[in-house]
Structure 1
Amino acid sequence: MSSDPYMNEDDYNLDPVGAASTNEHDDDSSVEEEDHSDDESIHEEADGDNEGLLSYLFDKDSLKQHSFAILVAIIATIISYYHLLPNDTSSYAMQEPIPLETKRTRSKPLKPTISHHHHKYKRTDHLMFCPPTGSEIGKGGSEIISKSLQDTNVDANLHLFQFNFPKEYTDLMNDYFLADESMDDEYTQMLKSDEYAEMTEHEQFTCLIDSTIELSHKSTVPMSGIAYKQPHVSTFYKEDAKPKVTSVKLALKNENEKEDMKPVSLTYTGFTAKFINLSTNTMNLFWDGKNKPKFRARIEPFESFTTVTLPGNSFYMAPTYDKEHAMERWTLTADDAVVAYDAIGNDDEVFLSLSKEYKKLYEMQKLNLKFAQEYLVTTKRLWLSAFPRPMPMHFMWEAEYFGQEHHVISNQSHFIRMPPVQEAMKHLDYADYDAMVEKRQKDETFVNLKEYRQDGPLELTLKVASVAPRVFECENFLSDVEVQHLIDMANVYNMTEQQKDGKRRLPKTSGYTNAWLRREMSPIMDAIYHRSADMMKIDESLLRHRNEHEHSELNTHHSIAEATFLTKYSVDQGYIPRSDSTQTSIRNRYQPNRFATVMLFLNDISEDEGGDTVFPLAVNAKNHDGVRITPKKGKAVLFYNMLPDGNIDDRSQHSSEYMLSGEKWLGSFFVWDPIID
């Protein structure tokens, strides 16, 4: 994603680089290339007496034809532009967007900040080769973790578990520690040489060496890893935690019922499958569809790919030059969904023939698979991230039981009056943000365009809608004015292509209006992102592009938030369960991923219209369909795509039920950890 907010108007009609797709996997169409080799040539040779290449310019008949063609083109352009605008001519969205101003320079740098985000990042954090003290492994783990990390805000469901680290990967672990210390973000030094020039002096690696010597007769040494263990479903229901006591007999009965409470069997049985290409060749992944193989992904050497699928589905990897030749085939189940095509195997001769770079990448993926095996045994969850992966750097709200509430105070109060179009549609640049930040440093209550907003701070209430995954509803997150602004912006920047017959034919996963709305595109959009940062307890500046003076300790000035994708669903439109998480290259030290999703509902939908947002894998004891959320105008939904231990939360899959009638306006954007990829 570009860090330059000074963009041409045409750039806003494009899908932004870095705004990754939301993994919609139901497009079964295939595009066949047309063969024009036998077509007759449409070019004819010029007649004999040619007066010159530019002679047509002085031909009156030709000049008239060209003038007429230019006039038609201008009229068509005007009609096409106004076709994208809403029907309500009273809306300010009918106005042409205000052109961007000339770049402005800062008069002085901002004051130093106290935030240290990326410089603190270490991929090897939370790897403990030194024996833990104070408690047994697996008991009181969160206390040990807090003490080790000097962090009291550690999730109570994080535990230490013992991973049998294979000693053959000791040199690789040394490389990981050194890459963190030298901030070798793309592993350039690590992959281009057999080893770093020195050995790390990190305390944990020193303990690894000591254990290797002490346990010379064993092939592994103990390592304490951090894993999230989901609590029992009985703790999800606060009303059942303390039953009303009318008699001793009744109290005992209620306690027994609570102990016997079990999660219901869910109707939806989908899961995320991960495919790893352990070969030196690029491979194509195919799904065995009902009628013919369906191409799913092209996987580069030693990289991986994930997709949502169902039990019993079959996949295979094939060379890029022959889709019929299956090098390896898998029929997947939920317990066996992380698979690898390993062309090297246990053949030492083949391994030694690899380049230095490929040897390292192969070992990185093999160690990751070893960790995944023991993580699955410990947590009953698939390891979908890449080892090592530390805990997320961002704050995560607790979700202990259904209905639990958290309260947040935000200075980003509601817009209750629409500013004039010159203000409402004004694009913000670095100078605007510099000015706002400087004013906030002088006045904590400063808000932009205060005269159009509600007086005083805004209290937001997050209510737990699901415990696993962690999903929160926030009523009245948007005001009516802000909702209308988003819809107007979506109509102005609508990217939906119109067909020649005037109809817009789209797959069922897409709406009739689709627009990417960036934070800097208006002051109201800026306020929504800032309010979202407050809701998530994340520094708001991380959700926008920063100048070189602001947060200069960070490795990047990019925003960690994507643009808001706003769409309108009509009858028979929606999407099947999907995951917002992604797979990052094994070469990326940060291993970034979509940490959280913020959904914005822009209209009310009745029960008989459909359109509910459903989390079909949400653990509960009452509903076989998981957890559903009914859209309500102004409501926001926050959910996490990652677990507190850094793994991808596969239970965060979500769907939008198909509309039976009416329409559904939905906006959503993603926040990454620790950086955007």
Structure 2
Amino acid sequence: MKMKLRILALVALLFATAAIADEDLPQTCSWTSIEKDPSLKEMIYDVGDGPKPFQAYVEPPLESFYKGDPPSKTRVVPKFNGLAGKFVNMSNKNLNFYWESAVGGAVHLMRHYKPFSTGGTGTFPGHRFFFSPDNDPDTRVKEFVVGEYPQNYYVYDPYFVEGDPVQTEKNLKANLNKKERKQYDKWRKTLLFNEQYLNFTGRSYLANYLDDGPRKAPSHFMWPADYFGQEHWVVTKETHFDRLPPSDDLDPILITGTKRVLKDGDPRILQEYRVKDEPYMNMTLKVLSVIPRVFEIQNFLSPTEIDHILDLAGGIELHESTTGDVGTDRGSDRTKGLERKTKTRTSKNSWVPREKSPIIDAIYRRAADLTRIDEALLRSRDKDEHPEVPTKRKVCEELQLVHYGPEQEYTAHHDFGHTHIDDNLAGARFATILFYLNEGMEGGHTSFPRYVNGESFHELAVKPEAGKAVLFYSQLPDGNMDDFSQHAAKPIIEGEKWLINLWIWDPVKDTEDE
């Protein structure tokens, strides 16, 4: 079957139209449709500016996940009942955000909130949180008790008076200046849009309503996930390394911009150390989950490439992993260097830039082909490269090298963050690719505890296998964040786990714009 797919891929490559420009992605994959995602349905909304259309994501029926023959006609309620909590400060004051433990009532500072800002955390029904003024944790201006999904929003609005628009307006005029009033009104539109989106789709709208409407649909390609076991294929010229080049050939890459472009007819970097007589490599994506969209790709990395990465790891200092809470503003920039260490994440990690070696560069290029994104977007670019993209920053983070030892884990979390209401670009993590570097450990599965199915209330557990990659999306086809993309690294019972993560953003904001 794989040989047949590879032959089909080569045929597709040979007959690809010559009219395609160098910077365009060649049609060397099994999915060539440019039609809109069938899960997008027209929704008419009104947030005070008159009725407007929006293409909203509506979950497909369960029977389609099983090609019309489901074991049950109803979704199984997962054992895991977590959800994304989105907490909003709709005041012009700086606030601190606390979690109150159910055991002993201890309080834990989670995040600093600027005026009219938002943040999120993975939470559970019954969890208690509160806002307090800066440096005054004893005064609680607003308390929250988390409810059941899809109740994701928890808002502090000191100006709004239920059922009394006249008094609400008086409060706003008395307390907010012109800029603050504009920020407040954008939050009101976000909340109004969320109500209508929730009624139409059954989900909360976890993105923000921007100056020109709802957050844009992803600019990157999204692989369809129509049913369990569905397969797609994509061809890459970034074939496997099967021999390690001499160390002198593995020096860091110093050239930049368009000098790094490889045209279709060019040999790949260090081609002589790759699998001989195989100018192309087929990558098969298999659907593990429809909601969220999760795919596995066997043999993405070769043993030689894994050895090279682990060899690099021997010279890289690993640090205790952290999460994006206290002192951070997730979503505004790279999340490297987050401040808060936590028991929810007990691994160690470091960062490997694309320019670290030609083999690392090849892995980025292969990942670009896998996701059907131009590799130029995964590095710093010259001014004339993709001028339509609103930033010259690369749309991905450095590879994160992660090590888990016995009993270490990363409890269920989301990879996306939340942006300030004034950020009209609203960059967020779009997709995550995990690359497993070893196998044979007990435990250590990658878990998707809320995947939708008609068979089991247990989590979807992906077993680590050396060389395998897992791709999943944090966004929906309409630009909303996918609450069901919540995932976990299960505890290591025996042995150890090595992997690398690649996070892709859509879009990314320049720090110069901030």
Do both share a fold (TM > 0.5)? Answer: yes
Contact 1:430–1:547 (CA<8 Å) still a contact in 2? no
Alignment correspondent of 1:575:
410
For 1:293-332, list aligned pairs within 5 A.
Answer: 293-332=107-146
Q: CA, structure 1 residues 153+675, in 2 after alignment: closer, same or farther (shift >3 Å)? A: farther
Greater displacement, 410-419 / 283-292: 283-292
Q: Does 1:509 align with 2:345?
A: yes
Alignment correspondent of 1:361:
183
Cα-to-partner distance string for 1:283-314 (whole Å, 9 max, x where unaligned): 11111112311111111101101100000111
Alignment correspondent of 1:453:
274
Cα-to-partner distance string for 1:618-661 (whole Å, 9 max, x where unaligned): 00111212311100000000000000011100100111111110
Cα-to-partner distance string for 1:338-393 (whole Å, 9 max, x where unaligned): 02100221532332242111011000111000000111111111111012211100
- CA distance in 2: counterparts of 1:552 and 1:429, whole angstroms: 23
Displacement, 1:555? 3.2
User: 490, 497, 501: which is aligned to 1:664?
Assistant: 497
Q: CA, structure 1 residues 344+235, in 2 after alignment: closer, same or farther (shift >3 Å)? A: same
> SS of the counterpart of 2:205?
coil
User: 429, 448, 453: which is aligned to 2:254?
Assistant: 429
Greater displacement, 524-533 / 554-563: 554-563
Q: CA, structure 1 residues 536+547, in 2 after alignment: closer, same or farther (shift >3 Å)? A: same
Alignment correspondent of 1:651:
484
Displacement, 1:553? 4.3
Alignment correspondent of 1:222:
51
User: 246, 267, 286: which is aligned to 1:420?
Assistant: 246
Cα-to-partner distance string for 1:12-49 (whole Å, 9 max, x where unaligned): xxxxxxxxxxxxxxxxxxxxxxxxxxxxxxxxxxxxxx
Displacement, 1:495? 3.0
Q: Does 1:278 align with 2:90?
A: yes
Contact 1:603–1:632 (CA<8 Å) still a contact in 2? yes
- CA distance in 2: counterparts of 1:585 and 1:404, whole angstroms: 38
Displacement, 1:445? 4.6
Alignment correspondent of 1:175:
none
For 1:130-145, list aligned pairs within 5 A.
Answer: none
- CA distance in 1: counterparts of 2:44 and 2:388, whole angstroms: 35
Displacement, 1:430? 3.4
Identity %: 36
Contact 2:390–2:509 (CA<8 Å) still a contact in 1? no
- CA distance in 2: counterparts of 1:508 and 1:385, whole angstroms: 25
- CA distance in 1: counterparts of 2:136 and 2:239, whole angstroms: 59
Q: Which residue type is aligned with residue 253 of structure 2?
A: L
Rg (Cα) greater in structure: 1
- CA distance in 1: counterparts of 2:60 and 2:47, whole angstroms: 27
> SS of the counterpart of 1:230?
coil
TM (norm. structure 2) is: 0.83
- CA distance in 1: counterparts of 2:183 and 2:292, whole angstroms: 32
Cα-to-partner distance string for 1:181-220 (whole Å, 9 max, x where unaligned): xxxxxxxxxxxxxxxxxxxxxxxxxxxxxxxxxxxxxxxx
Alignment correspondent of 2:158:
343
Gaps of 5+ in 1: 1-111, 117-150, 168-220, 242-257, 498-504
TM (norm. structure 1) is: 0.64
- CA distance in 1: counterparts of 2:188 and 2:482, whole angstroms: 22
Cα-to-partner distance string for 1:216-274 (whole Å, 9 max, x where unaligned): xxxxx322222111111111113x54xxxxxxxxxxxxxxxx59521112110000000
User: 446, 465, 472: which is aligned to 1:632?
Assistant: 465
> SS of the counterpart of 1:469?
coil
Q: Does 1:236 align with 2:65?
A: yes
Contact 2:391–2:509 (CA<8 Å) still a contact in 1? no
Alignment correspondent of 1:166:
48
> SS of the counterpart of 1:264?
coil
Greater displacement, 395-404 / 568-577: 568-577
- CA distance in 2: counterparts of 1:412 and 1:674, whole angstroms: 25
> Which structure dedicates a bigger proportion of its chain to helix?
1
> Which structure dedicates a bigger proportion of its chain to strand?
2
Q: Does 1:529 align with 2:354?
A: no
Displacement, 1:113? 7.3
Q: Which residue type is aligned with residue 434 of structure 1?
A: T
Gaps of 5+ in 2: 1-20, 26-32, 162-167, 321-340
For 1:75-474, list aligned pairs within 5 A.
Answer: 152-167=34-49, 221-238=50-67, 241=69, 258=70, 261-289=73-101, 290-291=103-104, 292-333=106-147, 334-346=149-161, 347-353=168-174, 354-387=176-209, 388-424=214-250, 426-431=251-256, 434-437=258-261, 440-441=262-263, 443-454=264-275, 455-474=278-297
Contact 2:99–2:108 (CA<8 Å) still a contact in 1? yes
Displacement, 1:574? 1.1
Q: CA, structure 1 residues 627+270, in 2 after alignment: closer, same or farther (shift >3 Å)? A: same
- CA distance in 2: counterparts of 1:466 and 1:312, whole angstroms: 28
Greater displacement, 611-620 / 581-590: 581-590
- CA distance in 2: counterparts of 1:325 and 1:344, whole angstroms: 18
- CA distance in 1: counterparts of 2:492 and 2:193, whole angstroms: 43
- CA distance in 1: counterparts of 2:34 and 2:402, whole angstroms: 41
- CA distance in 2: counterparts of 1:510 and 1:567, whole angstroms: 10
For 1:580-591, list aligned pairs within 5 A.
Answer: 580-591=415-426
| Cα RMSD, aligned residues only | 2.1
Q: CA, structure 1 residues 453+113, in 2 after alignment: closer, same or farther (shift >3 Å)? A: closer
Q: Which residue type is aligned with residue 669 of structure 1?
A: L
Q: CA, structure 1 residues 508+338, in 2 after alignment: closer, same or farther (shift >3 Å)? A: closer
> SS of the counterpart of 1:581?
coil
Greater displacement, 343-352 / 365-374: 343-352
Cα-to-partner distance string for 1:509-537 (whole Å, 9 max, x where unaligned): 233x5220011111111110110010001
Alignment correspondent of 1:191:
none
Alignment correspondent of 1:74:
none
- CA distance in 2: counterparts of 1:415 and 1:589, whole angstroms: 42
- CA distance in 2: counterparts of 1:597 and 1:494, whole angstroms: 23
Cα-to-partner distance string for 1:595-616 (whole Å, 9 max, x where unaligned): 000100011135xx11111100
Displacement, 1:547? 2.1
- CA distance in 2: counterparts of 1:574 and 1:447, whole angstroms: 37
- CA distance in 2: counterparts of 1:114 and 1:411, whole angstroms: 15
- CA distance in 2: counterparts of 1:676 and 1:475, whole angstroms: 33
Alignment correspondent of 1:144:
none
- CA distance in 2: counterparts of 1:435 and 1:359, whole angstroms: 48
- CA distance in 1: counterparts of 2:170 and 2:298, whole angstroms: 62
> SS of the counterpart of 2:47?
strand
Q: Which residue type is aligned with residue 502 of structure 2?
A: F
Cα-to-partner distance string for 1:152-197 (whole Å, 9 max, x where unaligned): 4310010011213324xxxxxxxxxxxxxxxxxxxxxxxxxxxxxx
Displacement, 1:508? 7.0
Greater displacement, 408-417 / 553-562: 553-562
Displacement, 1:548? 2.7
> SS of the counterpart of 2:381?
coil
Q: Which residue type is aligned with residue 131 of structure 2?
A: M
Q: Which residue type is aligned with residue 403 of structure 1?
A: G
- CA distance in 2: counterparts of 1:404 and 1:637, whole angstroms: 15
- CA distance in 2: counterparts of 1:570 and 1:259, whole angstroms: 38
Contact 1:436–1:448 (CA<8 Å) still a contact in 2? no
Q: CA, structure 1 residues 279+546, in 2 after alignment: closer, same or farther (shift >3 Å)? A: same
Contact 1:283–1:298 (CA<8 Å) still a contact in 2? yes
